[in-house]
Structure 1
Amino acid sequence: MSDAAWTAVDDYIVGHLLGTDPVLDAALAANEAGGLPAIDVSAAQGKMLHLLARMAGARRILEVGTLGGYSTIWLARALPEDGRLVTLELEPHHADVARGNIAAAGFADKVDVRVGPAIESLDAMITGGEGPFDFIFIDADKPSNVAYLRAAMALGRPGSTIIVDNVVREGGVLDADSDDDRIRGTRALFEAVAAEPRLNATAVQTVGAKKWDGFLLAVLGAAE
């Protein structure tokens, strides 16, 4: 499902509020040249993540799902001078492209790209006491959404912001009988958030260049 007007409105937003961005354009070009799938957040969505991280006063950011580093750069731009971002990527080639993009954007000293299954990386971070993170963005394989959420909570603190991408899936989230693991993982995420008293959450539908989808947004509360 798509509509040409959705992309046109995104273009209008970018033209009026974001303008041209050679660094991010170069990152997308490098992603394409490297054969990465074109599944990055849109420019307007990237700016939204940037602003949310700034509003949260984030000094330490965790990203689950790096791809080519497009959203990583948006988030890194929100960090203060002494800020730090850890981003997790399964595919070594994607991570290599991301490191190049992140370095070209001037954030090689602030961003740590870690390669391997995100669950294993997250478990190691929890064991190593690497938290707390102020802002956590989850945009990886959807069947693991609940595991990523639990890890985010373990690595967060009271007041941490947790954002999960792709939670509407063109309305697929309504299909209780779906055999699509991505939809089943997304529905499980909603159930887990709804049952978790420490999370104050909502979800927002989006339309635009990335078609019909949405974000789940939550703030972590104190343990009871």
Structure 2
Amino acid sequence: MVERTEAPDPRWAEVDGYIADRLLGTDETQAATLAANAAGGLPDIDVSPAQGRMLHLLARMAGARRILEVGTLGGYSTIELARALPAVGRLVSLEIDPHHAAVARGNIARAGIADRVEVLVGPAAETLATLDGPFDFFFIDADKPSNVTYLREALRLARPGATIVVDNVIREGRVLDASSDDSRVVGTRALFNAIAAEPRLTATAVQTVGVKKWDGFVLAIVTG
């Protein structure tokens, strides 16, 4: 989660609303997901509707058949990604909090995709070590101090050509602060350094603004 350090421009949210009205349409399933998350006391840190659709499109563009998500929360992004899978596809999502996982499973069942989604509960670093690849698409959106661990595990589990997306990498510009003692900033900067040093990755990062404030994603392809 990124804490707001400055008041956001109100146009950011207005533009997100315009995008949703013109391009996304009404999604009663995902509205119910957000309502269930709020009722369950989950933090309001899901990706935005426009960002969720972006993940969906990226997974489709990648032709993903096996997706690994690190950080389920209430399943909003999980549902967007699973909808991109073919009927024989599979998504594995990792969540440390049993309550969050239970809420997510209910949302996933309501969305009619429980047959292709498995939510595993426990510390992601430990669960990742038990998994076998290959996976075609990764979405990493969990505790930021462990980003480098998650990246290394994604590389181990990836097929050549796999896509890796990492959320919350701009942190309202605080990624620039080399002296920060915020473990989330330290973990994010370590992620950038690890990607820069990894010859198997071709990557960029994209800043975003909107209802989720000023942040961004790393986008990478495993090239070998």
Where does the alignment leave 5 or more consecutive residues of structure 2 unmatched? 1-5
Please, what TM-score do these two structures have when normalized by structure 2? 0.97
1:153 matched residue in structure 2: 155
d(CA) in 2 for partners of 1:85, 1:106: 14
2:118 matched residue in structure 1: 112
Q: State the AA in 2 paired with 1:54.
A: R
Quote how far apart the aligned CAs of 1:132 are.
0.4
Q: Are 1:139 and 2:178 an aligned pair?
A: no
Contact 1:157-1:221 at 8 Å conserved across structures? no
Alignment of 1:88-103 (within 5 A): 88-103=94-109
2:29 matched residue in structure 1: 23
d(CA) in 2 for partners of 1:155, 1:89: 18
d(CA) in 1 for partners of 2:147, 2:59: 21
2:49 maps to which of 30, 35, 43 = 43
d(CA) in 2 for partners of 1:47, 1:193: 25
Q: State the AA in 1 paired with 2:152.
A: R
Q: Secondary structure at the match of 1:208?
A: coil
Q: Are 1:186 and 2:192 an aligned pair?
A: no
d(CA) in 2 for partners of 1:4, 1:89: 32
1:77 maps to which of 60, 65, 83 = 83
Q: Are 1:87 and 2:89 an aligned pair?
A: no
Q: State the AA in 1 paired with 2:46.
A: D
Q: Secondary structure at the match of 1:140?
A: coil
Alignment of 1:201-216 (within 5 A): 201-216=203-218
1:200 matched residue in structure 2: 202
Quote how far apart the aligned CAs of 1:148 are.
0.2
Please, what TM-score do these two structures have when normalized by structure 1? 0.97
2:222 matched residue in structure 1: 220
d(CA) in 1 for partners of 2:43, 2:142: 13
d(CA) in 2 for partners of 1:111, 1:151: 20
Identity %: 72
d(CA) in 1 for partners of 2:24, 2:198: 36
d(CA) in 1 for partners of 2:200, 2:25: 38
1:32 matched residue in structure 2: 38
Q: Secondary structure at the match of 1:160?
A: strand
RMSD: 0.4
d(CA) in 1 for partners of 2:25, 2:62: 24
d(CA) in 2 for partners of 1:19, 1:47: 11
Q: Secondary structure at the match of 2:166?
A: strand
Q: Secondary structure at the match of 2:209?
A: strand
